[in-house]
Amino acid sequence: MLSFSPIVFVNGVEDAPISPLDRGFAYGDGVFETMAMRGGHLPLLKWHYRRLRHSCDRLGIKFDQLELEQQLAQVLFAASQQDITDAVVKLIITRGVGGRGYAIPDVAETTLCIIIVPPPANFLKTNKTALNLFLCEHRLGRNKHLAGLKHLNKLEYVLARAEWQDENFSEGLLRDSQGWVVEGTSSNVFIVVDKVLLTPLVNHCGVAGVMRNCIIEHLAPFIARDVKELELTLDDIKQADEIFMCNSVMGIRPVESLEDCRWGSGLVTEELQQGLASLLAAKL
């Protein structure tokens, strides 16, 4: 079933409301994960849990993985009762309800929201579809304290995504305030130069994506390719042999164009796609 009404659970209760005093709503004080459910299974779940734990630790938000696992199982069961096997699952953890003001309350009960929504079009085939990139003018601010985290403060990305309406563009490329290429509006970017994988550092801004981490830690070693994390310029991107974008929902997708530059699906990108297909088939 690829079309259905969203399923929403808040703290284990279906369709429960979220308080307007919740710090996630009021201040973006929280983190989230977006996952692909394929065939009723959540691949890469261990990477998502690891990033959630790391993000909550960095922000000082209570993280109870056992509670999360129990609530997630409850929501996935509700989805299975509707014969939902392919979907996008979003986990949101906030610091919970607090009073007025930015000061962190002495006592706060974490809010956990789990949402299941229909997958995007061509969900099961997207890794074969090349992307046309839009070069965004909006720049990401540099803040090492939030760099790498998938936190709820996403207004920069909303503004960047608002820059184009042309459906020919599938994703936007973002730079930071100093002009370094960082990522896409909802994905990470890799380039290939002389068969070596290069991806921007995310130690000043940007998100350390789950698929990005999977490529660095698992897929690149699996196909015996080196990976380097470094600062990349727009010229570096345009002069690359191959370029692809990735996230846990879209998988790995080659880039066809950026401004006047053109690419095809290259050898290294195809090797990574094949490695990812094997990983997903193994349900790791």
Residue intervals in the chain for CATH 3.20.10.10: 125-281
Per-residue pLDDT band at 129 (split at 50, 70, 90): confident
Residues of the chain with CATH 3.30.470.10: 7-119
141 Cβ contact partners less than 8 Å away, ≥ 6 residues apart = 156, 176, 177, 205
Query: pLDDT value at position 124?
Result: 62
Task: Let me know if 171 is a catalytic residue.
Answer: no
pLDDT at 106 over 90: no
**Rounded to the nearest 10 degrees, what angle do helices 45-59 and 65-81 cross at?**
140
* DSSP conformational letter for 9: E
When the candidates are 2.20.25.10, 1.10.275.10, 3.40.50.300, 3.30.470.10, the CATH number that belongs to 7-119 is 3.30.470.10
Active site (annotated) includes residue 94: no
pLDDT of 36: 94
Catalytic residue among 90, 128, 150, 238: 150
Give catalytic status of residue 185 as yes or no. no
State the residue for tokens 């998988």.
251
Annotated catalytic residue: which of 33, 171, 183, 242? 183
- Do 180 and 234 form a contact (C-beta atoms < 8 A)? no
| Catalytic residue of the set 33, 34, 185, 242 | 34
* Alpha helices, DSSP H, located in the chain: 23-27, 45-59, 65-81, 155-161, 210-214, 220-222, 234-238, 267-281
- Band (pLDDT 50/70/90 cuts) for residue 3 is confident
Predicted TM-score (pTM) of this structure: 0.94
Domain spanning 125-281: which CATH class is it, in words?
alpha beta
